[in-house]
Amino acid sequence: MASSSQPPIPSDKRFLIFFDFDETLVDETSDDMVVQAAPGQTLPGWLKDTYQPGHYNQYMQRVLAYLAEQGVTESQIRAVMEKLPATPGMLTLLQFLRTRPPQDFEAVLLSDANTFFVEAWLRRASARPLFHRIFTNPATFNRDGRLVMRPFHSHDCPRCPENMCKQSVLREYVTRRAQERGRPYERVLYVGDGANDFCPATALGPRDVAFPRRDFPMHRLITEMHEAMPGEFRAVTVPWAGAEEVVQRLRKILAE
């Protein structure tokens, strides 16, 4: 499984916390916002018309190719990403994690964006060192100045886009880390917003905590599952509108 190369993670972390990126860490969708770098800050209709549901990754590859053809540079794309606003309270949450003893949290970013978008924003926000691992679609600039994005992996989950099932990433990571550590985490925590964050949240256990952004698709899907199949969704659910609410629950968890 590809991820940003990082040094070995210490085995003393108590809690594993996953974060989504788009509309969780940042208050926009980075794939939509990169269009601001295009001439006229818009895409031609013929390009928009090539989008097919479930094949967003391929569509974004075409968008990035179009930007390169229009002369959009790496620095222009980076500038757009660096300006993405954090979601309400998210910088407070990141600062909270930054000031905790190192054995408290192992933070992992799990995103269907791409490495360039994610890393550009994290570095600008001085948040890159917080994340022990980043799992997202790999993207690098080629010799022609085009940002080339590849699918993260392939999978057979019918719920998720074909390039990434976050549940399979989460399960594999948790299993591997438990083997490396010789013990499980006290709790696994997941902060997200989208439908593709619901899938990994269904793998959480009764001591784990799902933090869906209030009234976003992940929250609605959890609510629907609770109503249709009581007891099927096992994790504690803590919706948030501002990430300070996540901080409040983390403080309680640490105090237990």
Active site residues: 20, 22
Question: Is 215 part of any known ligand binding site?
Answer: no
Strands 105-114 and 131-137, bridge-based pairing: parallel
The whole-angstrom separation of Cα 68 and Cα 119 is 20
Kind of pairing between the strands at 15-19 and 105-114: parallel
Residue 12 among known ligand-binding residues: no
Cα distance from N-terminal residue to C-terminal residue, the chain: 34
Provide the strand spans (E) within 122-225: 131-137, 139-141, 147-149, 187-192, 209-212
Q: Can you read off the two tokens belonging to residue 149?
A: 């994005």
| Contacts with 7 (C-beta within 8 Å, 6 or more apart), sequence order | none
Give me the phi and psi of 75, to 5 degrees please: -65, -35
- Sequence-distant (6+) residues with CB within 8 A of 158 are none
Answer yes or no: is 32 a known binding residue: no
- Please enumerate, by residue number, every residue annotated as part of a binding site for substrate: 31, 112
- Please enumerate, by residue number, every residue annotated as part of a binding site: 20, 22, 31, 112, 193
- Please enumerate, by residue number, every residue annotated as part of a binding site for Mg(2+): 20, 22, 193
